[in-house]
Structure 1
């Protein structure tokens, strides 16, 4: 067995030397093809040894070889892909050896975790392959160690650039695999809440909570997300999630309030239409509409004018009987906001609604 370990060490050492000098050619008797043949032969011999019977000694040997190959991946420039594939293959042999030999589960958990953390370029460890030999004790130890290492990592705050150094990336990969294997929502959330650099990350957290029946927490994360994004980015998706959840909970007024607060934070036609759709056929719509429009007037500025125009266009297209007075009043307000450009805008309205004699007559009667 020791000869296999020495053969791997020698082949990798010579490969490293060739990578440095760039003298590696197929024609050389000790070039990469010859050394690759040595490495692949070792993997075949490990499988043959496993077929004759697994033992703790064989498990330990395979672990040493996997570690050597992981080092080779990190140190090689020219053969990283081949070495990574071979390391993955040998790790599969290790999993089968552990299933047969049943090493100490806690020691196995430590080795699997150390392999990934000390060798960020190591092959991915699939915990499902080790379900038997790890058993409950080994998996619990693996989880406790991983969480203890991951939990103190700083959170990437909103607008910050992610600090994914090799150590953090390795831990993140461990935690993601662990959360997926155990189907543990709390672990998934621990991973997600370490990166809050954008509103989409808040949305991910809220969605996971919503999908797992944790409604109150989901709505709290929506609130936090909306506070962070200030009406930009993922704001509309966050609003949608909150509205849907409030309606599902039988709280339509809370859904309206989400839209109202979002509009007052950053006016937009999209949020206006969401609020309108929720209450347009109720007595709550006229006062809410008046509040939203008044906010635009007070807010002023180019953004407010553009939103105001778009809202007027929507209401022109959707207006019902008896709403002419309100539309004309809105036009008065818009003229006050942008008097120099109002004439062109009014001509645009008249052109678009040339067939609507009632509207045109009302505009003329009101002095437009």
Structure 2
């Protein structure tokens, strides 16, 4: 590791993976506006868009956040790699930047502490006038501290109003994060009410808030789950208030049942058993009566059945719960699995395994059981030292679901009992081959066969399968990236084939992908000693593509 920083290039490659690390190398020149703080580093990376990156050094290692789509999924992306590499290049200056950041923080704290009450008040008012979100948050906290319940309720529900963020009646992805931050203030206010002895009020407002958010949630592009997290926290705040205030149990049970049986229940993730203490015997009895009536009226209803299952678990009625499941066993074995899980939770493991094994036997022979059922049985067999009995189950699972995951499960199990040999592997690979159709073009869909060969590290066999038509463009690219050093000519051929269709398209995403492929192609030419051929290729490409100004700028940025 770097003496100044808690990471080095090897750590970055581990965090990002080889492919993202290699792509990050090409973006170092696109890093700008970098700020090095005490424990974090922020910067802008020019990609398809101007992406904001934040790196944080924590006790358990380096973490990275990026506003690009891949980064927003929680991955340490190529843009994070580019910023980290830039920091490594400037490692000697990092202590100076951190010392300066510490000094600025102390200076700001000292300055604030030296201001009078009137000066601080004037400063806060100045920022309130220019920041609507800050004003709303402070107004809410002021109202929460007062005695006007109507004002508190109005402020909390106002925070959940989507209209200021909605374009054409819909909160788009770009606005969902800002809305989520504002809505989160409602959670803070509800918890403040509970903590300051106003839990009864918090119960009432929380119900209104949950229903308000659930009604509008369908009109929000919550791809990142920010607003969904707020909904979950609202439900948690309601539960906390109920446990403190102990509201009328029958009325609370009615609200919970109505919520869970309505169209809004899935948004918050409310679980009725969590309310068992607040409901008491009277509330649980009311909920059970309502749920039973609903299930009688709609025996096939998913919400009705799930609510009854929750209640039976809360009441500890294991045998009644098993009878409920057993009355409508699914051909996938999914209900067999539910029975097995409930029996195991009740401390009846032998019965649990019997039901799971029965599920395997009774599952639809054409489509096979729910994939979780073999996992359940195999895990129990493994614990009992019955590893040899696991292998046949994994073989059957692969026949039903010819995926990389199923192949890995069989490989891991067979290795553990010493029977993963060439015969076993060949049979498994042929199972995957039989599920795929070779084709001449790159095609939109790849095959688990190529994925399995790549996962085995058998690159030569992966090349043969790809050449026989079993790979899609993504798998071809992965194969080229993995073997570029050993087979630069073959990899170059792949990159050029992938580049061709992109030359007829436009758009920032296309230009970014095209640039990455060209960088890879250049690396192959360098390995082959044919850099002059690449220079000629790029001259021709630039001439043909000269009208695409954004592409030209991107090529210039990367020295292409």
TM-score (structure 2 length as normaliser):
0.32
Larger strand fraction of residues = 2
Structure whose alpha-carbon radius of gyration is higher: 1
Larger helix fraction of residues = 1
TM-score (structure 1 length as normaliser):
0.47
